[in-house]
Structure 1
Amino acid sequence: MNVAQLVSVLVILLLVATGIALASQWLRIPYVSGLVLAGLAIAELLPDEIGLDDALILNVFLPILIFEAAINTDISRLRTTIKPVAILAGPGVMLSSGITAIVLKWGLGLHWTPALLLGVILAITDTVSVIAVFKEIPVPSKLTTIVEGESLFNDGVALVLFTLILKFHASGSITVVEGLQEFIVVIVGGTLVGLALGYLSIGLIVRSDEPLRNILLTGAVALGAFQIGHSLEVSGVVAIVVAGLIIGTVGLSSNISASTRLTLLSFWECASFGVNSLIFLLIGLEINLTTLWNTLPAVMLAIVAYQLGRLLCVYPLLALINRFDRPIPLRWQHVLFLGNIKGSLSMALALSIPSSIEAREEVIAIVFGAVLLSLVGQGISLPWLVKQLNLSKVSFPEQQIEDWQAQLITAKAAQDELDSLLKTGILPKSIFEEMRAAYQVRVAAAEKALREFYNRRNNDLKSEKQQQTKLESIRRRLLLAEKNALNEARRKGILSDMIVQVRLKTIDEQLLNLDDH
């Protein structure tokens, strides 16, 4: 296919994606499910060369999606849910993969290698559909953080396991100890690569503070982290996650202007949306309905197998978490189980299986069928199921509180930007004082309204508990701000290391006490 044909096909796909975005909003169905169905409908109208390419997804699309998720992840929020996230993305993936592999080995008569590969591929969760539902139906923010956090680390663990299984097949034998050592080395190596790239890029981002240059830089980091990890035989996905978390938390802090931060995050949001749209359209194009019909019994068994694996992963492991951490409500666990939707990475891994693997074509057909039925069946039914669980009732007083908080946050942010403009000489002091005074009126009004509400909070026990959670979140952020100020003072030589260490220890104890309540 020449360049002109490729551009024509790309224009068609973009127009179809735009039309599906409008239609899905009107029909009240998930956008990604609509894209897959549209891909099925237009498959005959496009050249046969158009379809999923595992190298393109793994080397370009996947780094973009993971990096966008990482830079938008608040580490302080992730830290409060790290235990359930870690146990679901670590032992959970292994347990789910093992259960799925055992069921498919005995149910379909597969050898261990293709069965284990199927187990890992079908243990991957794609949260695009789930997060899209959360944007329409109010759910607790902590549940959203768990879903996003699990997805962030789930891909890395699954890719490492996939690589280890292929190495085992190529070498013919590998002990459990050797496999565990390889797993640890790959994860730790990817973490070190991500740390190095993340911290090296922070200085350039802050020094440049220019949107277009920083877009190019972060693009190079996202794509380069995966390639460097692959060349060093460590996890490129883990490298992307770590680099993205560092850039999002430190690089996009108050050290750069609000306009640069907003432009950068908007670019990555658009890139992620565009990539997702193309991927899910291509999934529909790739599915052969005749092949799906012929393998339907095996596909249905695979769906039962991975759902069983997810069932035995979510409920028992989170019940274990409840013994030494804040309990995860049962209704939240239902969402984590029901939101077990498959996506593009599963199909990319299936296509990347070497031809030397026995039953490769059967594995690919099963994965493609399972992904299609998952996206269409679970994707369309999930909004209704989440709504029935009634996870979050937002009362009018709570909406009013958040409105006041939004007013306070935006006015304070604008005042900070005005301070920055005055210091750089862009804004005359007379105009600065006039504009800052206008924002101060908004700040004072919001603070007064919030103060009056908190003074009345003892009248309602339920309101007390809800606001206590909000206050704990505020206290945590204040303590983290204190830690940041101490570290900055030590770096500049204002405070001695001994004094800083004592203060940091006290603050860490206060943070731990907050997490324990």
Structure 2
Amino acid sequence: MDMILARTVGLLVVAMLVAIGARRCRLPYTVGLVLCGFFLALMRVDAGPSLTHSLIFLVILPPLLFEAAFNLKWAELRPDLKVVACLTMAGVVISAGVVAAGMVAIADWPLRSAVVFGVLIAATDPVAVIAMFKDNRFTGRLRLLVESESLFNDGVAAVLFALALTWAQGHEITALSLFRGVALSAGGGIAIGLFCGAVAIVLAGRITDNLVETTLSVAAAYGSFLLAERVHASGVMATVAAGMLMGNLTMGENGPTAWLSESSRDFLANVWNFAAFIANSLVFLMIGLALAGLPFGGRSSLTIGIAILLGLLGRLLSVYPLCLPFRNGPAAVPAREQHVLWGGGLRGALGLALALSLPHSLPGRDEIVTTTFGVAAFSIVVQGLSMPGLLRRLGFLGART
């Protein structure tokens, strides 16, 4: 235990140094973390706990999801809700279908393994996407679109992944069971999240202690996630729902819906920003550490290359066609925003967590995990490095000085 704690502290020190260096070199922080972790592993530095499904799902994801949802304003999201819903639901299905079909036709994967991989890699990852925008200090409607889509389509992808895995293991899936599974998982997760958030709000409204109020928010973030997963609902949806409820009732104007004072709101926001920074730092460093130990030679490299191209194609077909109905009106998505939606479709922690959760009995399990890591690495490093230039070229960021 002492050794694990010491190594974790060591990772945080490395993350701090990377943050300082990345800012001076104008390198995206997340890219710097992945590269640093990769080189540490090449030097055979035993840097701490390995990346596992449980670590990502039960420790890292809840604070990242809650912090992002906490800062997502319903009043700003509501005008674009149709766009986000379309990209979230139809987009995941289209992207998963393109990737699965391509892996069968080009990489000669078994259909069931290809479908599982297509679903787990389809969702854009909120961890990587939100970190990208924070790196570039980017705000506005476009950030709202990309971040909200990544938050919600994670829930959809997690639900579809569970159903795809059930089918891949030989169980029959009917249209009715598919609908029931999606409704119970997504609806159950949202209901649990709203319940946990509401309980935390009621309790916090009777207290005027910053530390107790923050503890209640932590309990809501982790409690909603764990409770939802316990009853086979979507933990992602639960934490997002709890975060949005508490954030929108917390961060609004003082009045009947505000349950915290202004100083308490600032304190809570700062605590969650810090928690998100710690979780982000650990997950991206550990992704880099894990990459160095994977077999990327020969056929694996070819398969990863195919998967990367299919992922980009699937993202393209799930953005541009779906934005066609929104060419006019207040919810219009201009072409330059569509370019960022496509280029900003990063993959990362969620896909890795789902891949690492696959049973070892699943045919092609190791190849799926290796390919997922390869796609995530490309997404974080290559797409992450290209995004500042793309945002500047499209006029969303000022010229570099």
Q: TM-score, structure 1 length as denominator? A: 0.72
CA contact 1:205–1:251 (8 Å) conserved in 2:
no
Give, as a single letter, the amino acid of the residue that structure 2 aligns with 1:17. A
Out of 145-154 and 185-194, give the one that drifted further. Answer: 185-194
SS in 2 for 1:208: coil
Q: What's 1:276 paired with?
A: 280
What are the Cα deviations for residues 217-243 of structure 1, in whole angstroms up to 9, with x where unaligned?
111111111111112221121111111
Q: Distance in 2 between matches of 1:104 and 1:221?
A: 40
What are the Cα deviations for residues 372-420 of structure 1, in whole angstroms up to 9, with x where unaligned?
12211111111112111113679xxxxxxxxxxxxxxxxxxxxxxxxxx
Q: CA deviation at 1:310?
A: 0.4
Q: What's 1:407 paired with?
A: none
- Pairing of 1:352-501 with structure 2 (within 5 A): 352-391=357-396
Q: Which has the larger radius of gyration?
A: 1
- Pairing of 1:121-270 with structure 2 (within 5 A): 121-135=120-134, 141-253=140-252, 254=254, 255-270=259-274
Give, as a single letter, the amino acid of the residue that structure 1 aligns with 2:351. S
Q: CA deviation at 1:206?
A: 1.4
Q: Distance in 1 between matches of 2:170 and 2:128?
A: 38
Q: CA deviation at 1:278?
A: 0.4
Q: Residue 291 of structure 1: which of 281, 292, 295 is its match?
A: 295
**Structure 1 residues 236, 11: closer, same or farther in 2, change over 3 A?**
closer
CA contact 2:95–2:122 (8 Å) conserved in 1:
yes
Q: Distance in 2 between matches of 1:24 and 1:252?
A: 31
CA contact 2:83–2:331 (8 Å) conserved in 1:
no
Q: What's 1:480 paired with?
A: none
SS in 1 for 2:192: helix
Q: Which runs of 5+ in 2 are unaligned?
A: none
SS in 2 for 1:262: helix
Out of 188-197 and 274-283, give the one that drifted further. Answer: 188-197
What are the Cα deviations for residues 66-98 of structure 1, in whole angstroms up to 9, with x where unaligned?
111111111101112111111111111111111
**Structure 1 residues 90, 113: closer, same or farther in 2, change over 3 A?**
same
Give, as a single letter, the amino acid of the residue that structure 2 aligns with 1:23. G
What are the Cα deviations for residues 235-275 of structure 1, in whole angstroms up to 9, with x where unaligned?
12111111111111124542321111111111011000110
CA contact 1:96–1:119 (8 Å) conserved in 2:
yes
Identity level (%): 37
Q: CA deviation at 1:324?
A: 6.9
Q: Distance in 2 between matches of 1:108 and 1:321?
A: 35
SS in 1 for 2:355: helix
Q: CA deviation at 1:4?
A: 2.3
Q: CA RMSD of the aligned region, Å?
A: 2.0
Q: CA deviation at 1:316?
A: 0.2
CA contact 1:85–1:149 (8 Å) conserved in 2:
yes
The alignment status of 1:100 with 2:99, answered yes or no, reads yes
Q: CA deviation at 1:133?
A: 4.9
Q: What's 1:55 paired with?
A: 54
Out of 23-32 and 249-258, give the one that drifted further. Answer: 249-258
Q: Distance in 1 between matches of 2:38 and 2:353?
A: 18
Q: What's 2:338 paired with?
A: 333
CA contact 1:68–1:268 (8 Å) conserved in 2:
yes
What are the Cα deviations for residues 120-151 of structure 1, in whole angstroms up to 9, with x where unaligned?
12112134554455456576611111011111
**Structure 1 residues 226, 139: closer, same or farther in 2, change over 3 A?**
closer
Q: CA deviation at 1:300?
A: 0.6
CA contact 2:8–2:48 (8 Å) conserved in 1:
no
Q: What's 1:346 paired with?
A: 351
SS in 1 for 2:113: helix
What are the Cα deviations for residues 318-375 of structure 1, in whole angstroms up to 9, with x where unaligned?
1123367632010000001011211111111111111121000010111111111221
Out of 284-293 and 74-83, give the one that drifted further. Answer: 284-293
Q: Distance in 2 between matches of 1:138 and 1:158?
A: 28
**Structure 1 residues 368, 118: closer, same or farther in 2, change over 3 A?**
same
SS in 2 for 1:46: coil
Q: Distance in 1 between matches of 2:92 and 2:159?
A: 11
SS in 1 for 2:179: helix
CA contact 1:206–1:251 (8 Å) conserved in 2:
no
**Structure 1 residues 209, 127: closer, same or farther in 2, change over 3 A?**
same
Q: Distance in 1 between matches of 2:208 and 2:359?
A: 45
Q: Distance in 2 between matches of 1:140 and 1:267?
A: 21
Q: Which runs of 5+ in 1 are unaligned?
A: 395-517
Out of 140-149 and 41-50, give the one that drifted further. Answer: 41-50
CA contact 2:125–2:151 (8 Å) conserved in 1:
no
| Structure with more contact order per residue of length (Cα contacts < 8 Å, sep ≥ 6) | 2
Q: Distance in 1 between matches of 2:303 and 2:270?
A: 42
CA contact 1:81–1:145 (8 Å) conserved in 2:
no
SS in 2 for 1:125: coil
Q: Distance in 1 between matches of 2:323 and 2:23?
A: 34
Q: CA deviation at 1:209?
A: 2.7
SS in 2 for 1:29: coil
SS in 2 for 1:122: helix
**Structure 1 residues 323, 258: closer, same or farther in 2, change over 3 A?**
closer
SS in 1 for 2:295: helix
CA contact 1:279–1:344 (8 Å) conserved in 2:
yes
Q: Distance in 1 between matches of 2:138 and 2:14?
A: 31
Count of equivalent residues:
392
CA contact 1:51–1:283 (8 Å) conserved in 2:
no
Q: Distance in 2 between matches of 1:366 and 1:157?
A: 21
Bigger share in helix: 1
CA contact 1:97–1:122 (8 Å) conserved in 2:
yes
Q: Distance in 2 between matches of 1:108 and 1:95?
A: 19
CA contact 1:138–1:392 (8 Å) conserved in 2:
no
Q: What's 1:303 paired with?
A: 308
The alignment status of 1:12 with 2:2, answered yes or no, reads no
Give, as a single letter, the amino acid of the residue that structure 1 aligns with 2:14. V
Give, as a single letter, the amino acid of the residue that structure 2 aligns with 1:90. M
